[in-house]
Structure 1
Amino acid sequence: MKLLRIYILMPLIFVAAMTANGQSYQQTATGIQTVIDSVQIEIGFYSPSTVRILKWPAGTTFTKKSLSVIEKPQKTAFRVSQSGDNLVLKSKKLRVSLNLSSGQVEFSTPSGKSLLKEEKSGVKFTNYNDAGEKTYHVYQAFVLDKNEDIYGLGQQQQGRMVQRNLKLHMIQGNTDDYVPFFVSDKGYGMFWDNYSPTTFSDNQERTFFKSDVGNCVDYYFMYGNNPDGAIARMRDLTGQAPMFPLWTFGYWQSKERYKSQDELVGVVRKYRELGVPLDGIIQDWQYWGNNYLWNAMEFLNTEYYSPQKMVDDVHSMNAHMIISIWSSFGPMTKPYRELNKIGALLSFKTWPESGVQKWPPNMDYPSGVRVYDAYNPKARDIYWKYLNKGIFSLGIDGWWMDSTEPDHLEFKPSDLDEKTYLGPFRKVRNAYPLMTVGGVYTHQRAVTSAKRVFILTRSAFAGQQRYAANTWSGDVSSSWQSLRNQIPAGLNFSLSGIPYWNSDIGGFFAGAYNRSWNGTKGAKNPLFQELYVRWLQFGAFTPMMRSHGTDIPREIYQFGKKGEPVYDAIAKAINLRYSLLPYIYADAWQVTHNQSTMMRALMMDFNDPKVRNMNNEYMFGKSILVAPVVHAQYTPEKIPQNKPGSGPDEAPASNKTQSTIDFTQSKSKKVYLPAGTVWYDFWTNEKHKGGQEINQKTEIDEIPLYIKAGSIIPFGPKVQYATQKKWDDLEIRVYPGANGQFTLYEDENDNYDYEKGIYSTITFNWNNARKILTINSRKGTFPGMLEQRKFRIILVSPNNGAGMSTNERNGKTVTYTGKKISVRF
């Protein structure tokens, strides 16, 4: 047995030693290359923690430029050793073994702890003719530990947290966004770098990816020691998430759809009159006119008589406006004609099908709407040219990119034969959202750095976080089951490496609640009111708080008036969101600067077996445990039926009547508190030991929230919009029981100067044993920064109730000038 150890630093390629059976390999600057059973295998380190595995049929050649991976291999020190048929590549963070006889690859820690291994003979290439291009179906199988949990793979509506023992046909859809990346509770991640329709399957025998098209098997294995570390390595590969403007973390109002500029401006004005906070208003489709003018990127609808005045009116009330844009164009639009000239329109059926704006579609008058080829750089240039001229020039603040999967009606496999700029559509199908969203981001960044890009989009693919995109969960239905599904959908999406996610508060399709029930319907129907309030409370603890849907308008005044339980509950949730903006904005900085995740599955932070598969609670940032109410407590969960056939949640008529529904009554629900820490009830400051399930009292206006011991949370002023008041008098709540740290982040709120280091941070440290809060010296500076401010520090205790006024609490006020100070309790 011969042992060979070589330290690689220079970009050299040379033939290394032969094994006993004559199998050779080549050593490269990043790893090794070899051929085993007619399969060319390349193993290359991208960093000490990340390695790429590339396989293809020996004797063939191809070129591949990844659409997701933008990182280049770093210069990585590693050693190669050989023992019989076993070849080992070892970096500071990772050990990769290759069996030179079978071709099986195994990943482990440097100390030898097994993480993941391929199945023996687990790679397959099957000849395939992809619309005239010779290629392969590609397949790679792995063996996971039987008790191992994995997460991620994008967003699905199945209500599952752990992604084991399932089969997914991964092709982008309206409410399902597929990202072929998963994270293991063993601390590693794996990214399957393929853009064609893909099957992911997992059972007790094997776990595999099988893609319709590929010249090679191409995947990345990354070890981060924990899920956060694995996600960080994925973002190293595919791009970091930039900062959103502060105002995007406020409250957003929308519906399908505002039909005139007067209606839209009137909604903002009404919120200001009511004194309910609002930062964003959204204009949905048809501002361009009829379906033949679909997505014209101009205000051709006469109800929008002065688009510039509309935008100016919204801005004059200190609100922001984003607008719906699509991936398709009607035949009478200027973009359609220019795109058609360069062959950059695809011909499969998309929505809307008819030029007549009635339902169902009248196919005697086909719309002629076609999806554009977002893979074509010239097509992306044309898309932005019209978007910039017709919309962005008016001062629109962001983009609602709808149907970015895109809509594909009456799907036929032959539709995927259609040629795009990068080849047959089948080859690149799942990366469509990445390309179209990236086109808008890249072009806007080239135009200005004074306004941060903000994109709301319906679909996503690996790497999309680098394009300032916040993905929503699509046109989900309005039901309690749909609400329950949103929590694991958002958590698994976040665990796919893309940190910004939200859902239509109240659910999109709400028509079933428009049936009269005891004389009420729509927003006055108590069945919908309860669902909406609970969804809104959940939405307050997602990266974007956005109310939207069809059938029932969602503005707060549709639900009643001040002093009524439902109205007051809605207002309370919105105001709570605004009070937490300093906490949320600081967490957004952690996402950008330290690769953190805002919506956090409990398994990310707690070594507690009971939370590994928990799909109804999560952490919002590192301090706040959110346990949304996801079951009806006051009304029937199933919609009572007076007539058959009127909705998905049909149930026999209920004996309950409107008079029995009292939203002022107290209810209760079970909440599990993860082990390993002490928890504080946010509303009462009552302390609870972790590792137990408690019976939590609930009110219609309160979502169960718990704060982890050791947390330091800043609370902002009462405002009508995010930047109305400076943070010169913040309340800082310290939750004792453990040491803690929090970094307050501030910048100019809406430009890219932070990328140049123009921002400030103030780090707070709590020493629990000494009962001292240290406010460290401020780091950094930016124009408009507060040179002096007050911090009102509250040491939280059960006798120091959250409901008490500031003057009643046992607090201390300090004046801070940027120099380190300590406060002793």
Structure 2
Amino acid sequence: MIFKSKSLLLFTIFFITNHLSAQQYQKTDKGIKIQSAGTAIEVQFYTPSTVRIIKYQANTAFSKESLSVIKTPQKVPFTVKTEGNSISLKSDKITLNINQQTGAINYLTNLGLPLLQEKPEGARFTPFNDAGNQTFSVSQAFSLDKDEAIYGLGQMQQGRMIQRNFSVNMIQGNTDDYIPFFQSVKGYGLFWDNYSPTKFSDDQQSTSFSSEAGDGADYYFIYGGNADGVITGMRDLTGKAPMLPLWTYGFWQSKERYKSQNELIDVVKKYRELGVPLDGIIQDWQYWGNNYLWNATEFLNPEFYNPKKMVDDVHGLNAHMIISIWNSFGPHTKPYLELEKKGMLLDIKTWPESGSEKWPPNMDYPSGVRVYDAYNPEARDIFWKYLNKGIFSLGMDGWWIDSSEPDHLQQKPSDFDNKTFLGSFRKVRNAFPLMTVGGVSANQRKTSSDKRVFILTRSAFAGQQRYGANTWSGDIQASWQTLKNQISAGLNFSLCGIPNWNSDIGGFFLSNYRRKLDDPEYRELYARWIQFGTFCPMMRSHGADAPREIYQFGKKGDKVYDAIEKFIKLRYSLLPYIYSTSWDVTANNSSFMRALVMDFPTDKRALNINDQYMFGKSLLISPVSVPMYVKEGTTEGEKAMEEDFAVIKSKETYLPQNTVWYDFWTNEKINGGTYVKKETPLDVIPVYVKAGSIIPIGPEVQYATEKKWDSLQFRVYPGADGSFVLYEDEFDNYNYEKGAYTEIPVGWDDRSATLTIGARKGKYIGMISNRTFSIILPDGKKKTVSYSGKKVAVKFK
């Protein structure tokens, strides 16, 4: 009897203890809620491989609608188990172990492989007065493996590929576009969903995000297995990248600035006369007139006497035109007057400071220009109303949104107390580009679906890929180091899930080159930069201090001119490859510019290379970023640089292992896992093709849609099985979203040396029904086949 009583007592204690333990968390439809050390923690599954973590002080409330994340949580099957002080959540993709005492979370694969650990001290909340709103400064620290490679954080001009062992204060700037996101070579990503000024810090002790303002810590863990999988998860959260028009992938010319519509039209005419391909021309600022009329969204400058005719003339020359718009307005403009009346302008110093256009600014005549509240949906609609009436209705093809961070001069702490529609400017500072680009994009789509949205913009934030925007790297100085830094800047930006990026070919400012275009070193730099631009999502020549049109660099037969022309024409021959890659980006969440970690994550020698990348999944690009063909000479008694082409120089390139490669120019076959030297005369950079690649080559054209793709080459590179999907649609509308497109699958079987062109899938108005494909191997073997949409196999011995 006594024995039975003791047993009953022990059973009762055991039951109560486990019951209490089980009650230390609350299971929800999305995940669980718990409290630990005074911190409330919510875990919400968005997909089996993506989870949102929210941490806030237990005695406060947390409610937030994300500006970046547009996905709502799916109903995800998961299990919850407790063991000791640990709560384990498990989906069919990932496992989270939560320490109930510290609140720290460990993230693992379902095989138990560790991915990421939070530091035991957990999230930190420091009381903060945000313009009268009592909130917190928030931070969260993580523990990474000692040698773990991480990438992302947006675009920075540091030349850094792996983002370890440094700190950076993230406030959007002209040449730095910050995104509080990184991904690891281990196949996971972390998005810190906060828009206030944020510090990222990494050292041997911890990796952390710390933001000035936030009611709590709010972040997303994404497990993708590899870089493409992480990007897929990020775009699943924040939006897919839509198709851009085919013409955006041609060559673009602009400068600071064309001073009349006649000058602009003459540039397009000159390209046509020279037979050099061109698809886009851009009008920079001041077409509105003086600084008091800043960004008037009208052509008030008398040099632009008939803007409708200007746009029509560009179209008549089979080119497209986009135009500079800003996020601030002069005090004499219609948008300013309407926005000011409704309290939708911010009080921060911005560009231009003076009403006088002379330099330096004459502050006796302040411009009165003010930035608008892009966080306010009504303000965004007002901006569009004037854009539509004054510019879009003329037939303009797209937008160049300058200063989209925006310019914030002589920053003062009180500037961040400005009230916006969503709270203090501080609270939402870094999301400004997302909001203003999103406003133009969404309003154009409401207005018309006849042409796809295309926006060139200077800044970005997480999620901006969903708005049809291509970000450029800002007003950079022309130098060899700057050119090299663009490579890692663009790659880390792309690794944040935003695929469209470019830079000013030749650099914006030429202050390093006193003789401007007459400086032979600059001319060499420009030639190398245009080669890099050939293999970027947008190929655009632009800059201040000197014009950059091809004819400014001489004439046919001159080395620099010929190098520029060669690579512009190469760009056009690759348009079927580039446009099909753009479909891979839209449909399959791929990337144009691919850091080597994306395709070769197990090759340790490839992980930190900052001057090579894959363009699409077939081409390895190794831009030349050092001068090779100049020497010191004398000009009028002064030391100067002179051209010296007497000796051909070389560049060394690493070819990743476990892959066979082909020299793009010579078809030489090379085994991977080695460094190779390539002679690089002024009109050649190292380009290598991965074995198994199938690259479609288009016709020689003067603009992207001049000729149909009814007679294409397929260049096939044996050594591995391969596949490619040739994509086509109507090239500039949104009918592809309704299924108006075609895919032609092409496969190479290496063992049997057979190329199979599969049955065409889909259809659209204007589809090519019958065509010819020429299949060419590196050894020169060639076969030609007719194709009417049915499967065709071509066998080579």
Band the TM-score falls in, shorter-chain normalisation: over 0.9
Contact 1:23–1:100 (Cα < 8 Å) also in 2: no
Is 1:623 matched with 2:618? yes
Once residues 27 and 59 of structure 1 are traced to their aligned partners in structure 2, the CA distance between those partners, rounded to angstroms, is: 20
Once residues 572 and 445 of structure 1 are traced to their aligned partners in structure 2, the CA distance between those partners, rounded to angstroms, is: 37
Question: How far 1:669 moved relative to its partner?
Answer: 1.2
Deviation track 1:391-420 (CA, whole Å, cap 9, x = no partner) reads 000000000000000000001111001100
Question: How far 1:122 moved relative to its partner?
Answer: 2.5
Question: How far 1:20 moved relative to its partner?
Answer: 6.8
TM-score scaled by length of structure 1: 0.93
Q: Within 5 A, what are the aligned runs for 1:188-199?
A: 188-199=188-199
Match of 2:465 in 1: 465
Question: How far 1:704 moved relative to its partner?
Answer: 1.0
Given residue 816 of structure 1, which amino acid in structure 2 is its aligned partner? Y
Deviation track 1:121-159 (CA, whole Å, cap 9, x = no partner) reads 131100011010010000100000101010000000000
Query: SS where residue 196 of structure 1 aligns?
Result: coil
Contact 2:652–2:678 (Cα < 8 Å) also in 1: yes
Given residue 264 of structure 1, which amino acid in structure 2 is its aligned partner? L
Is 1:750 matched with 2:732? yes
Once residues 103 and 562 of structure 2 are traced to their aligned partners in structure 1, the CA distance between those partners, rounded to angstroms, is: 64
Deviation track 1:749-795 (CA, whole Å, cap 9, x = no partner) reads 00000001110000100000000000000000000000000001101
Q: Within 5 A, what are the aligned runs for 1:484-495?
A: 484-495=484-495
Is 1:603 matched with 2:574? no
Match of 2:794 in 1: 823
Query: SS where residue 459 of structure 1 aligns?
Result: coil
Contact 1:19–1:84 (Cα < 8 Å) also in 2: no
Unaligned runs of 5+ in 2: 1-15
Once residues 466 and 733 of structure 1 are traced to their aligned partners in structure 2, the CA distance between those partners, rounded to angstroms, is: 33
Runs of 4 or more, structure 1, over 3 Å off, are 16-23, 639-643, 662-665
Is 1:553 matched with 2:547? yes
Q: Within 5 A, what are the aligned runs for 1:314-393?
A: 314-393=314-393
Once residues 29 and 17 of structure 1 are traced to their aligned partners in structure 2, the CA distance between those partners, rounded to angstroms, is: 25
Once residues 794 and 131 of structure 1 are traced to their aligned partners in structure 2, the CA distance between those partners, rounded to angstroms, is: 66
Once residues 641 and 93 of structure 1 are traced to their aligned partners in structure 2, the CA distance between those partners, rounded to angstroms, is: 67
Structure 1 residue corresponding to 2:706, chosen from 697, 718, 724: 724
Once residues 425 and 352 of structure 1 are traced to their aligned partners in structure 2, the CA distance between those partners, rounded to angstroms, is: 20
Given residue 84 of structure 2, which amino acid in structure 1 is its aligned partner? G
Query: SS where residue 177 of structure 2 aligns?
Result: coil
**For the structure 1 residues 577 and 665, does the alpha-carbon distance in structure 2 shift closer, same or farther, using more than 3 Å as the test?**
farther
Question: How far 1:664 moved relative to its partner?
Answer: 7.1
Once residues 739 and 110 of structure 1 are traced to their aligned partners in structure 2, the CA distance between those partners, rounded to angstroms, is: 31
**For the structure 1 residues 423 and 820, does the alpha-carbon distance in structure 2 shift closer, same or farther, using more than 3 Å as the test?**
same
Once residues 90 and 285 of structure 1 are traced to their aligned partners in structure 2, the CA distance between those partners, rounded to angstroms, is: 54
Structure 1 residue corresponding to 2:763, chosen from 766, 781, 784: 781
Match of 2:785 in 1: 814
Contact 2:128–2:135 (Cα < 8 Å) also in 1: yes
Contact 2:630–2:644 (Cα < 8 Å) also in 1: no
Once residues 653 and 571 of structure 2 are traced to their aligned partners in structure 1, the CA distance between those partners, rounded to angstroms, is: 22
Contact 1:17–1:24 (Cα < 8 Å) also in 2: no
Contact 1:524–1:558 (Cα < 8 Å) also in 2: no
**For the structure 1 residues 792 and 112, does the alpha-carbon distance in structure 2 shift closer, same or farther, using more than 3 Å as the test?**
same
Contact 1:735–1:795 (Cα < 8 Å) also in 2: yes
Match of 1:13 in 2: none
Is 1:687 matched with 2:658? no
Match of 1:10 in 2: none
Query: SS where residue 140 of structure 1 aligns?
Result: strand
**For the structure 1 residues 147 and 305, does the alpha-carbon distance in structure 2 shift closer, same or farther, using more than 3 Å as the test?**
same
Once residues 310 and 641 of structure 2 are traced to their aligned partners in structure 1, the CA distance between those partners, rounded to angstroms, is: 44
Query: SS where residue 512 of structure 2 aligns?
Result: helix
Query: SS where residue 311 of structure 1 aligns?
Result: helix
Contact 1:18–1:24 (Cα < 8 Å) also in 2: no
**For the structure 1 residues 164 and 26, does the alpha-carbon distance in structure 2 shift closer, same or farther, using more than 3 Å as the test?**
same
Contact 1:430–1:461 (Cα < 8 Å) also in 2: yes
Question: How far 1:460 moved relative to its partner?
Answer: 0.3
Instruction: Supply the RMSD in Å over aligned alpha carbons.
Output: 1.5
Given residue 792 of structure 2, which amino acid in structure 1 is its aligned partner? I
Match of 1:792 in 2: 774
Question: How far 1:59 moved relative to its partner?
Answer: 1.9
**For the structure 1 residues 604 and 642, does the alpha-carbon distance in structure 2 shift closer, same or farther, using more than 3 Å as the test?**
farther
Query: SS where residue 42 of structure 2 aligns?
Result: strand
Query: SS where residue 650 of structure 2 aligns?
Result: strand
Given residue 192 of structure 1, which amino acid in structure 2 is its aligned partner? W
Question: How far 1:641 moved relative to its partner?
Answer: 11
Match of 1:408 in 2: 408
**For the structure 1 residues 336 and 255, does the alpha-carbon distance in structure 2 shift closer, same or farther, using more than 3 Å as the test?**
same
Given residue 627 of structure 2, which amino acid in structure 1 is its aligned partner? A
Question: How far 1:192 moved relative to its partner?
Answer: 0.2
Question: How far 1:642 moved relative to its partner?
Answer: 9.9
Query: SS where residue 569 of structure 1 aligns?
Result: helix
Contact 2:102–2:122 (Cα < 8 Å) also in 1: no
Is 1:506 matched with 2:506? yes
Is 1:219 matched with 2:227? no
Deviation track 1:672-712 (CA, whole Å, cap 9, x = no partner) reads 11111111000000111101111111110112100000000
Match of 1:273 in 2: 273
Query: SS where residue 764 of structure 1 aligns?
Result: strand
Query: SS where residue 535 of structure 1 aligns?
Result: helix
Is 1:760 matched with 2:731? no
Question: How far 1:665 moved relative to its partner?
Answer: 4.8
Once residues 269 and 525 of structure 1 are traced to their aligned partners in structure 2, the CA distance between those partners, rounded to angstroms, is: 27
**For the structure 1 residues 189 and 641, does the alpha-carbon distance in structure 2 shift closer, same or farther, using more than 3 Å as the test?**
farther
Match of 1:582 in 2: 576
Contact 1:20–1:84 (Cα < 8 Å) also in 2: no
**For the structure 1 residues 699 and 17, does the alpha-carbon distance in structure 2 shift closer, same or farther, using more than 3 Å as the test?**
farther
Contact 1:138–1:217 (Cα < 8 Å) also in 2: yes
Is 1:522 matched with 2:504? no
Is 1:156 matched with 2:175? no
Once residues 203 and 642 of structure 1 are traced to their aligned partners in structure 2, the CA distance between those partners, rounded to angstroms, is: 53
Once residues 21 and 63 of structure 2 are traced to their aligned partners in structure 1, the CA distance between those partners, rounded to angstroms, is: 32
Once residues 191 and 525 of structure 1 are traced to their aligned partners in structure 2, the CA distance between those partners, rounded to angstroms, is: 45
Once residues 528 and 621 of structure 1 are traced to their aligned partners in structure 2, the CA distance between those partners, rounded to angstroms, is: 29
Q: Within 5 A, what are the aligned runs for 1:440-459?
A: 440-459=440-459
Contact 2:484–2:625 (Cα < 8 Å) also in 1: yes
Once residues 700 and 114 of structure 1 are traced to their aligned partners in structure 2, the CA distance between those partners, rounded to angstroms, is: 48
Deviation track 1:81-115 (CA, whole Å, cap 9, x = no partner) reads 11111111000111011111221111000111100
Once residues 608 and 17 of structure 2 are traced to their aligned partners in structure 1, the CA distance between those partners, rounded to angstroms, is: 47
Contact 1:623–1:708 (Cα < 8 Å) also in 2: yes
- Percent same amino acid at aligned positions? 64
Is 1:482 matched with 2:487? no
Query: SS where residue 155 of structure 2 aligns?
Result: coil
Match of 1:710 in 2: 692
Given residue 599 of structure 1, which amino acid in structure 2 is its aligned partner? M
TM-score scaled by length of structure 2: 0.96
Contact 1:431–1:461 (Cα < 8 Å) also in 2: yes
